[in-house]
Amino acid sequence: MGEHPDCALVRKAFDTFTRGDLNTLATMMTTDVVHHVPGSNPLSGTHKGVEDVLRLYRDWGRPDGSTKGIEPELLTADGQGHVIFGYRYTARKADGSRSFAMKGAQYITVIGGKISDIEECVEDLDAFDAYWLG
């Protein structure tokens, strides 16, 4: 049995994101896509629409000398438009002042072959907030 099409979409979207190809990534999302980011930091909140979600991704990847990484650990679909994407999330400020290494996951809704909603969850919300606030 091959990979479920919804998992294949999320895998392709992740690969596209890591290459920084946001134009192609935009084509994999509905125009009204929503990405929910937990916490109380500059990235937190409900980002609505392709442009707002792409702005979030640009802010996350802004070149600032820090190192950030997402290493996929789990990708599974229920066959009804829902995908769980589990990963190991790491970040370290350029000056070494703040860092974290934790598990994270996204609950992703796929409609019509496109990503329409992403609900993000991180293992240590305090460390997540502290990193982005520092």
Q: Which domains does the chain have, with CATH numbers?
A: 5-133 (3.10.450.50)
Round to whole Å and give the CA distance between 83 and 8.
10
Residue whose pair of structure tokens reads 């438009």 in the numeric block: 81
Instruction: Flag whether pLDDT at 1 surpasses 70.
Output: no
Predicted pLDDT of residue 113:
98
Instruction: State the pTM of this model.
Output: 0.94
Q: What are the start-end ranges of the E strands in the chain?
A: 29-37, 45-48, 67-77, 82-92, 99-111, 114-122
In sequence order, what are the beta bridge partners of 36?
Answer: 46, 119
Which residue type, as a one-letter code, is found at position 109? T
Mean pLDDT within 15-42 = 97
Mean pLDDT within 71-92 = 97
